[in-house]
Amino acid sequence: AQLNPRTGALNGKHVLMTAGPTFEPLDPVRGITNRSSGKQGFAIAEALAVEGAKVTLISGPVSLPTPEGVERIDVRTALEMFDAAHAHLPADAFIGVAAVSDWRAQAVATDKQKKSANSDELTVTLIKNPDILASIGLHTTMRPTLVIGFAAETQNLEVYGKTKLRTKGADAIFANEVGDDKVFDQDTTNMMLIDAHGPTAVKRLTKAEVAQDITHYVINRLT
Ligand code: CTP
Ligand code: CA
């Protein structure tokens, strides 16, 4: 990653983040997950640490090294990510970059499910996971000064991004286009920032550039 020289602009600031996918087990050998390499969240964590922030990075299962100076907490499920995030409040800023699974199995089988025990169809009931970003953006006693979310959209970036800003109590949403191979395993993404000032134009940025933009945004808003 291309990083600016250390300025210490975020010395003494605690930034809490989520990154990567979550994994929701169905049985001991299977589960459902979301596509996310974790690269974007880890790049942001690194850029913030370079500026002197104390960064707590709650990460789902990814195969990435921990950026220097970052405290990393590994979790697997959305419920574990939720608990770990709340356990690490208070923070000056929260940034939700994780691709959290919206659903988990209502019942997790304790044994491997045999195909012979099932007919040609298998029905699994999924229930909704809690929204980690909203729980922090709307926190009544420990809301960080700055709460930032991402929005992964295949269409209507601005409309859906604005709705997420409002319903999750966030100060800013970085909305990016996903689908086909627009983001996953790619180095660039089409991104729009939405905050109280409205939306910016869509820019095509590398993950390193997004990390720099967000770091500058955090510095402007916290200092
Ligand atoms: N998010 C979260 N907890 C969840 C779901 C999402 O913290 N259970 C966060 C993500 O980390 C991201 C933001 O909410 O910062 C938006 O995630 P996204 O999946 O785009 O939005 P959803 O609210 O889940 O809506 P949908 O998937 O239906 O578009
Ligand atoms: Ca979602």
**ipTM of model:** 0.99
Is 102 annotated to bind ligand? yes
Q: Is the pLDDT of residue 69 over 80?
A: yes
Question: For this structure, is 34 an active site residue?
Answer: yes
CA distances from 5 to 26, 43, 51 (A): 46, 15, 8
Atom of ligand 1 nearest to the CA of 97: 11
Mean pLDDT of 111-139: 92
pLDDT digits (tens, 9 = 90+) for 2-19: 455 678 999 999 999 999
* Alpha-carbon span 20 to 180, nearest angstrom: 19
How does pLDDT run across 154-167, given as a tens digit for each residue?
A: 889 999 999 999 99
Predicted confidence band at 114 (pLDDT cuts at 50, 70, 90)?
confident
pTM of the model: 0.95
Task: State yes or no: 150 annotated in a binding site.
Answer: yes
- Identify any residues that bridge with 176 across adjacent strands, giving them in sequence order: 152, 191
Which residues are 190's β-sheet partners? 204
Atom 20 (ligand 1) nearest CA:
151
Query: Which pLDDT band, with edges at 50, 70 and 90, does 122 fall under?
Result: confident
Residue 130 pLDDT class (50, 70, 90 cuts): very high
How high is the mean pLDDT of the chain? 93
For residue 136, give the ligand 1 atom closest to its CA. Answer: 7
User: What is the whole-number distance in angstroms between the Cα of residue 101 and the centre of ligand 2?
Assistant: 6
Q: Is the pLDDT of residue 93 over 50?
A: yes
Enumerate residues with CB within 5 Å of ligand 2 (an ion): 102
Strand runs labelled E in 28-161: 30-33, 54-59, 70-74, 93-96, 103-105, 126-128, 146-153
Per-residue CA distances from 24 to 69, 103, 143, 152 (Å):
29, 8, 27, 19
pLDDT band at 116, cuts 50/70/90? confident
Q: Of residues 4, 11, 34, 220, which has the active-site annotation?
A: 34
Name the closest-CA residue to atom 9, ligand 1: 133
